[in-house]
């Protein structure tokens, strides 16, 4: 592992199963610039980390199931952060189980993923994360990928993303007020924005479709925008021209999505 310390920022050229030195405990931002795998518990000593940039989520290229996908893997299964810890359940390709449990610092607020797929349960239960940025090399978001990310306030989807096909991929993201779906996205799974917990009973999400067509692609499955059996999240098509009547369309104002 090659690393460089600069103020409170840690750059890594690779990351294996060895831990970051204890002297890195107060590191606030980490960026892995090139790696073949993300080591289990590698960042278990980084109790103050706020921002992290990863080339992908999980263990490494070519791994496609179980804990190899989960973001929490890099912090490990041992409770090391006392009152700063946030427990995250492990997921498998067929179910959600209570073991193992990953412990991530509650200080983690921003995550950037530069490539790969956001696989099954990749961020499941990561309630402390507030902001996620996905670069253009991220192609799809899988089942339960962000389920239970109750603190997530913003997520930037790449303009090239092809699919949000994963069942309930944003379920119970109750702090998320709006999301922009790129025109490249041709598939959204059923219950993508479902509200499964009591906390989601008043969740109302504005979904901004970058497409200028009011006709939804055939790959948008039935119930794709439903919170529950009685409520649908609102969605809007993009229009650069002000419509004759209001409602159903949006545009940018000072770089922010705004309903006409």
What is the average pLDDT across 49-64? 72
CA atoms within 13 A on the CB side of 14: 7
* Residue 132 vs residue 42, higher pLDDT: 132
Which of 27-36, 108-117, 122-131, 190-199 has the least mean pLDDT?
A: 27-36
Indicate if the pLDDT at residue 136 is higher than 60: yes
Q: Using 50, 70 and 90 to split pLDDT, how confident is the model at 233?
A: very high
Q: What is the CA radius of gyration of the chain?
A: 19
**Which domains are present in the chain?**
109-259 (3.80.10.10)
């Amino acid at each position: 592992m090659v690393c460089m310390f600069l103020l409170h920022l840690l750059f890594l050229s690779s990351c294996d199963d060895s831990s970051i030195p204890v002297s890195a405990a107060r590191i606030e931002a980490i960026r892995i610039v090139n790696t073949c795998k993300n080591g289990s518990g590698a960042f278990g000593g980084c109790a103050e980390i706020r921002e992290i940039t990863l080339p992908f989520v999980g263990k490494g290229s070519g791994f496609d199931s179980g804990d190899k996908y989960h973001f929490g893997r890099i912090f490990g299964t041992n409770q090391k952060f006392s009152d700063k810890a946030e427990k995250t359940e492990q997921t498998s390709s067929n179910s959600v189980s209570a073991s193992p449990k990953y412990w991530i610092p509650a200080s983690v607020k921003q995550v950037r993923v530069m490539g790969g797929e956001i696989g099954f349960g990749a961020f499941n239960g990561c309630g402390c994360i507030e902001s996620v940025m996905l670069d253009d090399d991220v192609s799809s978001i899988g089942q339960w990928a962000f389920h239970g990310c109750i603190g997530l306030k913003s997520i930037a989807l790449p303009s090239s993303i092809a699919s949000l096909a994963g069942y309930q991929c944003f379920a119970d993201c109750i702090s998320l007020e709006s999301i922009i779906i790129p025109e490249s996205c041709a598939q959204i799974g059923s219950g993508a924005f479902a509200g499964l917990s009591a906390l989601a009973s008043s969740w109302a999400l504005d979904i901004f479709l970058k497409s200028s067509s009011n006709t939804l692609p055939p790959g948008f499955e039935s119930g794709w925008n439903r919170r529950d059996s009685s409520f649908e999240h609102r969605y809007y098509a993009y229009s650069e021209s002000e419509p004759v009547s209001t409602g159903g369309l949006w545009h940018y104002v000072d770089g922010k999505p705004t309903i006409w």
